[in-house]
Chains A and B, each alone.
Chain A
Amino acid sequence: MTEPLLRVEDLRVEFRLSSGRVVAVDGASFEVGRGEALGLVGESGSGKTMALRALVGLLPRTARVTAGSIEYEGVDLLRASEDARRRLRGRSIAMIFQEPMTALNPVMRVGQQIAEVPRVVLGVGRRRADERALELMRLVGIPDPVRRAQAYPHELSGGMRQRVMIAIALAADPQLVLCDEPTTALDVTIQDQILQLLRALREEFGLSVVFVSHDLAVIAQTCRRIAVMYAGQVVETGSVEEVFREPRHPYTLGLLRSVPDFELVRERLSAIPGTPPDPAAPPSGCRFHPRCAFSRHDCTGGLFPLQPLGGGRATACIHHEDCAEDARREPVLARA
C-alpha cells in the first residue's frame, strides 16, 4: 500500500479538569489514504469529535494531546510549530461542522464568508476572491448564487447553510476534509442531497475525507472504510462492506443490530444494554466488557490493543470469533 495521506497512531487526548484528568481519546489509531473516505463511528462521548479536533489542532483549551502521533504527508503535526499548523488549516485540511447555523458568522454575508478564505488564506485579490466565491456556490449547488451571496446565514435554510459551509471548506483547495456529523442537524431529504454532494465533490477533486457520525446508514453511503470508536478507543476497523457483513467486535455487532432495516424483519430492535462508561473512570480490561454478551473472565483485565486480522481489518476483541459466528448465524443486514 502506498503512503497514506494521514496516519494517526496511539492518539491520546486528555482533559485537565479541576476534578482530575479525563481521557477523551485513548490510543486511537487510524489511517486515511489519498482519495479515501474513512467513517468514524461511535456513540456520543466516544471521543470521535475530539479526535477530529486534535487533527486540526483546535482542541478546547482544557484538552491536550498527551501521546501519539499525527502524520500528515509524512510530517508529524504534533511536532510542527503552531504557525505551520495554521498554514495547513484550510489549505490542506478543512473542516465541516455539524450545525451550520452556529458555524457561520451570523452578521456576515455568506458570499463574504466564502470569499474571505481564498482572499486571506491564499492571498487572492478581492475581485478574484468574489468570483471564486460565486464559482464555489455554483459548485455546491446553491441556485442564484449572485443573489444568495448577499444573504445572511439566518436568511438561508438549513440545507443551503450546510452547502455554504461546504463551499467555505473547499475554498482553499484542501486535500483532506474532516466532516463532523455534517448531516445530523438536517432533515432526511436534505441529508441525502448533502451526502450525494459530498460524494460527488470527493470523486471530482480526489479529496480524502474523514466522516464522523453516529449514523451507520450515513457511513455506509459515504465511506469505503470504517473505524468504530468506543470509550475513546478504536475497537474495530475494516472495509465498510466486511465490517457490516461480519462484525468482529461485539460493540460493532450491537450497533448494527440496533439499526432498523426494512429488508430484514426482526422481532424487535435490540439495544445495547447498559450505558457508555464514565470517561473519568473507565472499566478495567476491555472497556466494553460490562455491556458485552460474549465477555468472559479474561476480558476484565489487561490491555486490548487493535489486532490485525489481515485484509486491512483489525479488532480489539479477543473473542472476535464468537462474535463473527453470531453474526453469521443471524445476519445483521439483509444487503450485506
Chain B
Amino acid sequence: MAIAAEAVAEATFVEHSRGFRSRWYRTPSFVTGVSILGLIVLAAILAPVIAMHNPTDQDLLHTLAGPSWSHLLGTDDLGRDVWARLVYGARTDLQIAFLAVLFPFAIGTTIGLLSGYYGRWVDTIANWFVNVVVAFPFYVLIIALVFALGSGTRNIYIAITIVGWVSYTRIVRGEVLVAKRRDYVLAARSAGLSDPRILGRHLLPNVITQAIVFACSDIVLDILAIVTLGYLGLGVQRPRPDWGTMIADGQTYLTTHWMLSTIPGIAVVITALGLSLLADGLADLLRPE
C-alpha cells in the first residue's frame, strides 16, 4: 500500500524530469546552431554535387568575373569558380577543425581525470605542463609550432593538440575535484570497484559535459587558427581549397573585387556563429538540474 503510494508520487515526478530529449527543441540557440551547422556540413558533404565546377580548374579566359548563372559567385584571379572553392573549402576546414579538436579533447580529458582523481605528484606534474603552455599566447604558440614543424595538415593537428589539451585538462580536473568528493564515488569504492572503473564509468560521464560544451567553442577557435595559418601561408597548401588561402589570395584585389576575400570571411563568421550557438544551447541543456 505504502509502496503503491510511493510509486504514484514517483510516476508524476518522472513526467516532468525527462531531460534532453523533450527539451532540446525548446532551446532556441541549440536549434539555430544545429540548423546553421547542419547546412554547412551538408554543403561540405554534397560539395561534388552542388559545386558544378571543379575547385582547382583554371579558366584563364574568364578571370575575376562577376556572378553569373554558370559562376554563382564569380571567378577568382585564375578563373576558378568561387562557389566551388567555397564549398570544397568548407570540406577541408571543417574536417581539419573536427579532427584537430578530437585529439586535445581526448588527451586533455584523460590527463584532467587522472590529475584530479589522484592528486599529489600526478597533479603537480600535470599542472606544471599546463602552466608552461598557458604562459604563451595561443596564436603565437600555434604559429611558432607550425613554423618549426613545417606547414601541412598533419603538423596543424600536432600543433593544435600540443596547445589545446590544457583547456580540457583544466576543465575536467576542476570538475573531478568536485565530483570525487561526492558519495557515489565512495559508494563505488566501498562496493569493491577498481580505480580505472570508477574513473571511466562513474566520474567520466559526470564530468564530460563541460568538456563537450567547451569543445564546440574550441572548434571555432581551431577554424580561426586554421584560416589564420592558411592566410599566413603556413596552413593548407595550394591548390587544395581553404578559406584562409582564399582570403589571402583575394587580398590583392580588395579594392577592385572585394567579394573575393569577403565571401570566405563571411563563411568563417557564419560557421563560428553556428558553433557558438550550439555550444550555448548545449550548455543550457546539459546543465544539471
Interface residues of A (CB under 8 A from B): 56, 58, 61, 86-91, 94-95, 97-99, 102-108, 116-117, 120-121, 141, 143-144, 151, 154-157, 159-160, 165, 168-169, 171-172, 189-190, 193
Contacts and interface: CB of A to CB of B under 8 A. Distances in A.
Contacts of B201: 108, 116
Contacts of B4: 143
Nearest to A89: B192
Contacts of B10: 155-157, 160
B184 A106 contact: yes
Contacts of B140: none
11 contacts: A91-B192, A94-B190, A103-B186, A106-B184, A120-B192, A120-B193, A155-B17, A160-B6, A169-B191, A190-B2, A190-B6
Given A120-B197, A151-B14, A157-B6, A105 B202 contact: yes
Contacts of B188: 105
B194 interface: yes
Contacts of B14: 151, 155
A121 B184 CA distance: 17
Contacts of B206: 105-107
B148 interface: no
A209 to B, nearest CB: 15
B191 A143 contact: no
B192 A159 contact: no
Interface size class of B (residues with CB under 8 A): 20 to 34
B2 A154 contact: no
Contacts of A159: 6
Nearest to A95: B190
B121 interface: no
Contacts of A143: 3-4, 7
Which 7 residue pairs spanning A and B have beta carbons closest together? A90-B192, A89-B192, A103-B183, A95-B190, A102-B183, A90-B191, A103-B187
A103 B186 CA distance: 8
A87 B184 contact: no
Interface in B169-193: 182-184, 186-193
B288 interface: yes
B239 interface: no
A172 B193 CA distance: 11
A99 B192 CA distance: 19
A97 B184 CA distance: 9
Contact of B288 (A106, A151, A168): A106
A117 to B, nearest CB: 5
A97 B192 contact: no
B135 interface: no
A155 B184 contact: no
Given A103-B187, A105-B184, A106-B288, A86 B194 contact: yes
Given A88-B192, A121-B191, 4 more contacts: A58-B190, A105-B184, A165-B187, A169-B191
Contacts of B2: 189-190, 193
